[in-house]
Amino acid sequence: MTFTTPPHLQAAIAQGLGWDKAWFDGQAEGYQSAYHVLRSGLMEQGFHVLDSEATYFLCLDLHQSGIDRPGIEFCLEAVKTFGVAAIPLKSLYEKPLEAPPIIRLCFAKQEAVLRDAIGRLAQAR
């Protein structure tokens, strides 16, 4: 349980709260654009992408994507062989055996990085 927030974080938040609304709008637009780049690119490669809101993560259903491997296995191969890091949702479950074969990708990246990752993940398929 957290009782206090570190002083430097408090100061950073206080400064950020004084920023113009346009800065925050720009951030939201950038994340929205990155989400659509990654989502549409992965769908074009045959991945089954789950809808997501209010996050900078996008999830793929491996089985619905035609991939019959455990998420952890796919993620290890993706990072070791293709240089793309993903997280199997299984690692976030209290009871991992009940986890669906879904992996999570972060889209808080530059567009060029996302487009490169799409091609690399297509190879991992």
Domain ranges of the chain: 21-124
Lowest-confidence segment of 51-55, 106-110, 117-121 by average pLDDT: 51-55
Q: How many CB atoms lie within 10 A of CB 22?
A: 8
Strand partners, 61: 48, 102
Q: Give the model's confidence band at 2: pLDDT under 50 very low, under 70 low, under 90 confident, else very high.
A: low
What pLDDT does residue 1 have? 53
Q: Identify which of 35, 33, 18, 124 has the alpha carbon closest to the alpha carbon of residue 81.
A: 124
pTM of the model: 0.85
Taking 60 as the threshold, does the pLDDT of residue 98 lie above it? yes
> What does DSSP assign to residue 87?
E
For the CA atoms of 81, 112, 118, 44, the dihedral, rounded to the nearest 10 degrees, stands at -160
- Counting beta carbons within 10 angstroms of the beta carbon of residue 86, is it exposed (0 to 12), middle (13 to 18) or buried (19 or more)? buried
What pLDDT does residue 99 have? 80
15-68: pLDDT as tens digits: 999 999 999 999 999 999 999 999 999 999 999 999 988 899 999 999 999 999
Candidates 3.40.50.300, 3.90.1150.10, 3.30.565.10, 3.30.70.1140; CATH matching 21-124 = 3.90.1150.10
